[in-house]
Amino acid sequence: MKYIFFLLISTGIAFSQEKVIFDLDRCINYAIKNSPGANSAKSSYKARTGRINAFKAGFLPQINLSVSIPGLSREIIPVLQPDGSEFFQPQSQYFGSGGISLSQRIAALGSEVTLMSGLSRIDAFGTRDYSIWRTTPVMLSYRQPIFAYNQMKWENKIQDIAQQTNDFEYSAEIERISMNTTQKFFDLYIARMNLQNAEQNVGVNDTLYTISKGRFDVGRIAENDLLQSELAFLNARNSYERALLDYRQVMEEFAVELGLQNKVDLQVQPPLFVPKLNIDEEFAVSQAKQNNPDFYNFEVDKLRAEMNLLNAESNNRINANLVASFGLNNSNEMLRDAYQELLQQQRFDISLQIPIFRFGRGEAELEAALEDKRRTEINTELAKTNLEINVRYQALRLKQLIQQVEIAAKADTIAARRFEVAKNRYYIGKIDLNSFFIAQSEKDLAFQSYIQLLKSFWTAYYNLRRLTLYDFERSRIISHSIN
């Protein structure tokens, strides 16, 4: 029984830690609420929401106040003389201005309407001193690009998709956390089972070595068999030490993944069965197309490529800007009088931009944008096809894993029973040492295969949920709320 003391020394640290027991559902729910990944997903959702709201607010009326803090200028200025000549003299000025404006962007036209009011004052000192107010009680202006592509309209299309996919993005991130948590959960379970199996092997091989020494002393076995049993015992101890270190490392990493602050002894209880799911792969693909944000992001990529192409085409032809305004203004030395007997202020102009010769720059930009659009279309179609294949494969893989888990569970039970029979038969001298070791090895392999298949099933299941945002157990679309 000396190995018992050895095991107690090796595992003594765990006795001082708080024990926390998780099944898979509780573990996932805890990770969704408390893990660093969940907090990051919430921040990403809020950031996306903020950008969407900021963009939408940009198409609501905007009120801005502009104030120019009084400034000072000193310079030599030309002064027109009665005879038509100019005379240069020093002049100092204090000047300041302020205004308030109300503007509205019109996405359908790509234009902007602005209503503003303002005033300014100049105080001149020098050869001729004077002070004057200039007021603009009201001015309405309209700016309209002509022939150019409507950037506002295209940005609106992109933002509409972004708003539509924001909840999908968050749900997909939460399902990714669920999948990663499932992987870590089974990593810990496998590490713990490996530790328990290694501990059992130490005990069995210790007993086996003790029996072998007794049989060697009475001449019933050869020295080779004794050395083989001693080597098996030493290897079992080394395997236990490795398993213990692996278990502690995996447990600490899992605690960090979950967001547990204090050191705890995590105990996991996995589902030892798998649900009987009958997933139609084409239905899974249709749910992915409907719910997976990647499919919507593919459309955004295509829209951006088309927008860039239109921009390149616009820059390679005649562009014009129409600016029209109407307002009332006046000036006077007295502020009150500056608002009396207002005069009309009108403006209408069209400015043209005509590319004449650019050394092939416009054609090169147009060709690059066209090729980028083609590349984007090819890449997005390829990515969509690969994603559909992945979803279809995951659905088929789940069907296969259900059968494999059932077979592996039976194989594990049979191998464990065979090992117990072989152990008891060796204790009474009915089989040789090699037969016992074969049974022990088959027991370990069957157990490893079973728990690895359990991990593969649940990881694949949550991966399929992530890809489709569909709960196949409850037959409903997955939608996670940040609240």
Domain range summary for the chain, segments of one domain joined by +? 2-53+156-302+374-477, 68-106+111-148+320-354
Instruction: Please calculate the CA angle 20-239-17 and round it to the nearest 5 degrees.
Output: 20
Instruction: Report the alpha-carbon distance of residue 195 to residue 447 in Å, rounded.
Output: 12
Average pLDDT over residues 350-366: 85
Calculate Rg over the CA atoms of the chain.
39
Residue 351 pLDDT exceeds 80? yes
Q: Is the pLDDT of residue 5 over 70?
A: no
Residue 249's Cβ-count burial label (10 Å; 0-12, 13-18, 19+) is exposed
Please calculate the CA angle 393-473-394 and round it to the nearest 5 degrees.
Answer: 10
Q: What is the CATH number of domain 2-53+156-302+374-477?
A: 1.20.1600.10
Of the two residues 392 and 124, the one the predictor is more confident about is 392
User: How large is the average pLDDT for residues 425-451?
Assistant: 84
Segment 116-126, tens digit of pLDDT: 999 999 888 76
Q: Please name the residue that has the structure tokens 């309407």.
A: 113
Strands (E), 81-129: 86-106, 111-126
Segment 86-125, tens digit of pLDDT: 777 777 888 889 999 999 999 989 999 999 999 999 888 7
Q: What is the DSSP string of 218-235?
A: TTSS-HHHHHHHHHHHHH
Q: Of the given ranges (84-88, 126-130, 144-148), which has the lowest mean pLDDT? A: 126-130
Taking the C-alpha atoms of residue 148 and residue 145, their distance in angstroms, rounded to an integer, is 6
Give the pLDDT score at 130.
80
pLDDT in tens, 32-80: 999 999 999 999 999 999 999 999 999 999 999 999 888 888 877 777 7
State both tokens at 137: 């009680």
Predicted TM-score (pTM) of this structure:
0.81
Share of residues in the chain with pLDDT > 90 (%): 54
Confidence of residue 127 (pLDDT cuts 50, 70, 90): low
**For all residues of the chain together, what is the average pLDDT?**
88
- Those residues whose C-beta lies under 8 Å from the C-beta of residue 143, and which sit 6 or more positions away, are 111, 112, 114, 321, 322, 323
Q: DSSP letter string over 141-202? A: EEEEEESS--HHHHHHHHHHHHHHHHHHHHHHHHHHHHHHHHHHHHHHHHHHHHHHHHHHHH
Residue 192 has pLDDT above 80, yes or no: yes
Among 26-40, 311-325, 376-390, 433-447, name the one with the lowest average pLDDT.
433-447
**How many CB atoms are closer than 10 A to CB 112?**
16
Helix (H) or strand (E) holding 343: strand 343-353
| pLDDT(14) > 70 | no
Widest CA span of the chain, in angstroms?
140
Residue 462 in this model has a pLDDT that exceeds 90: yes
Mean pLDDT to the nearest integer, 163-180: 95
Q: Is the pLDDT of residue 380 over 90?
A: yes
Chain segment 270-319, per-residue pLDDT in tens: 887 788 888 999 999 999 999 999 999 999 999 999 999 998 988 888 88
DSSP for 272-340, please give it.
SS-------HHHHHHHHHHH-HHHHHHHHHHHHHHHHHHHHHHHTS-EEEEEEEEEEEEEESSHHHHTS
- Give the mean pLDDT of 219-237: 84
Q: What are phi and psi of 288, to 5 degrees?
A: -65, -45
> Using 50, 70 and 90 to split pLDDT, how confident is the model at 17?
low
